[in-house]
Amino acid sequence: MSTIAFLNIAMHGRVNPTLPVVAELVRRGHTVTYYTSPAFREEIEATGATVCLYPGGEQPLPERPTPLTLIEGLAHTAVRLLPAVLTDLRRVRPDLIVHDNACLWGAVAARELKVPAAASHTTFAFNRHVPSPTRGSWDLLAAAAARPRSIQGYLRSRWELRRRFDTRGLPPVDVGSIRQPLNLVYTSRAFQPAVEDFDDSYRFVGPSIGARLVDPSFPADQLRDPVLYASLGTVFNADPQLLRTFATSLAPLGGTVIVSTGQTDPAALGPLPANVLARRSVPQLEVLARAAIFVTHGGMNSANEALYAGVPLLVVPQGADQPIVARRVAELGAGLSIRTEDVTEDSVRALARRLLDDPRFRAAATTVQAAQHEAGGYRRAADELEKYLHAVGLVSQPAPGDPAQRG
C-alpha cells in the first residue's frame, strides 16, 4: 500500500468532498496524511487519516475574496507555509501528493520533492472555454489598477517562491486553477460545462458524498412538507436583510422554511414567521433529502449536493465561480438565478413559486441527479488515484471498483 499526502485550503467547500475519498483510501489500506488548519481537525481525524496542522493556526482568507485578493493570499500563504510543510513531508515521504487545484503550496511541494501529484477540483474544471475566475483578464487588470498593493504583494510572493523553490510549469497568474497529470473533478460530465474540451487527464468522478457528523440538535422530526431551504454558504458573511428576505418570501409557500445563516447570527434576522427555522448550520445532506427547492449562493459543493438529491435551485451568486454555476444550472433547466441586487420579497417568491409549480424544473434536476450518481463519487476517485499510482509504478493494479470507468 502507499503513503498519500493531501494538502488543502481551509474552506468547507474544498475540504468536504475530499473526506469520503480519504476515508475510502484508509479503508483500502493506504496511509493518508492530511495537511490542514485546526478547524477541520476533528472531521479529518474521523476518516482515519493522520492530521498535520499548518504552522500559525487558522489560514484566513480575505473578507469577501475576489480573484485578485485570492491569488495574492494564495501566493503569500505558499511562501509562509512551504518551509515547514516541506520539512514534514520529507519525514512522511509520500508516494503521492493530492492537492486542491488552488493549493499553490501543494503543487510546489510536489515539484520540490519530485513526487507524483494529482489535483483535486472541487469547482468546475477550467480551460479557455470555461475561464477560471483567477485567469488573466481585463477584469483582473482593472482590479490590479484599483488595488496596486495587492498585485505588488502577489508579485513579491511569486518572486520569492521562484527564488527559493521549484515553480516550473506553474501558471504565472491563474493559481486558482492548477492542473496535474491526474485531475479529479467532483462533479459529473453532465454538469460540467464544455466537457468535450477537456482531455483524459480530467476525471469527472461526480459528487463525493459520504457520511457526515450527526447533529443531534437538529429537529428533523419536526419538519413539515414542502421543505424550502436557503443558504449562502460559509465563506461570505451574508447580509442579515438578504437572509431575512429569503425567509419571509418563502414562508407563505412552505411547510417548513430552513435558513442556514453561516457566519451571520440568526438573531440578526429579527422576528421571523413561525414556520421558519434559522440556524448557523444545518445537516445539509439531510435537509436536501427533504427539500422541494434550494435557494443558494451557488457554491459548487452546495450545487453538487442539491443536484445529487435532485432538488431544483434558485441561485443567488455572491462571487468567485458562483455566476458560472448559476449559468450552468439555468442552461440545464434545473433551476433559475437572480442577481443579489434584484432580490426582493416579491421577486424571490415569484421565482420560488415557478420552481415549485413547474414540473420541468424537477424533471431536469432528476436527469442531472442520475448523472451525478452514475459518475461514481468517492469510490471512483479512490479508484482513479490507485490507477495513477499503478501507472507510475508505486502500487500493484487495484481490483476493479466502480463500473463507471470513463472520464
pLDDT in tens, 275-285: 999 999 999 99
Q: Across the beta sheet with 3-7, what order do the strands follow?
A: 50-53, 31-36, 3-7, 96-100, 117-121, 182-185, 202-204
Place of cell 451574508: 238
Cell of 378: 468517492
Phi and psi (nearest 5°) for 98? -110, 120
Largest CA distance in the chain: 62
Place of cell 513579491: 156
Cis peptide bond N-terminal to 226, omega within 30: yes
Cell of 211: 457520511
Per-residue pLDDT, 62? 59
Per-residue pLDDT, 401? 44
The structural domains of the chain, with segments of one domain joined by +, span 3-206+375-391, 220-372
Architecture of domain 3-206+375-391: 3-Layer(aba) Sandwich (3.40)
Shortest CA distance to 179 belongs to which of 238, 107, 78?
A: 107
Shortest CA distance to 77 belongs to which of 88, 100, 61, 97?
A: 61
Per-residue pLDDT, 402? 39
Cell of 275: 414556520
Contact between 255 and 224 (Cβ < 8 Å)? yes
Within this chain, domains 3-206+375-391 and 220-372 share the same CATH topology: yes
Place of cell 427533504: 290
Per-residue pLDDT, 125? 96
Predicted TM-score (pTM) of the model is 0.90
Return averaged pLDDT per consecutive 10 residues of the chain, 407 residues in all. 95 93 98 95 95 83 75 94 97 97 96 97 93 86 88 94 94 93 97 96 95 82 96 77 96 96 92 96 94 96 96 92 94 97 97 98 98 97 97 60 42
Tens digit of each residue's pLDDT (9 = 90 or more) over 37-48 = 999 999 999 999
Domain 220-372 has CATH 3.40.50.2000: yes
CA–CA distance, 220 with 349 (Å, rounded to integer): 24
Three-class HEC string of the chain: CCEEEEECCCCHHHHCCHHHHHHHHHHCCCEEEEEECHHHHHHHHCCCCEEEECCCCCCCCCCCCCHHHHHHHHHHHHHHHHHHHHHHHHHHCCCEEEEECCCHHHHHHHHHHCCCEEEEECCCCCCCCCCCCCCCCHHHHHHHHHCHHHHHHHHHHHHHHHHHCCCCCCCCCCCCCCCCCEEEECCCCCCCCCHHHCCCCEEECCCCCCCCCCCCCCCHHHCCCCEEEEECCCCCCCCHHHHHHHHHHHHHHCCEEEEECCCCCHHHHCCCCCCEEEECCCCHHHHHCCEEEEEECCCHHHHHHHHHCCCCEEECCCCCCHHHHHHHHHHCCCEEECCHHHCCHHHHHHHHHHHHHCHHHHHHHHHHHHHHHHCCHHHHHHHHHHHHHHHCCCCCCCCCCCCCCCC
Phi and psi (nearest 5°) for 35? -95, 125
Per-residue pLDDT, 216? 86
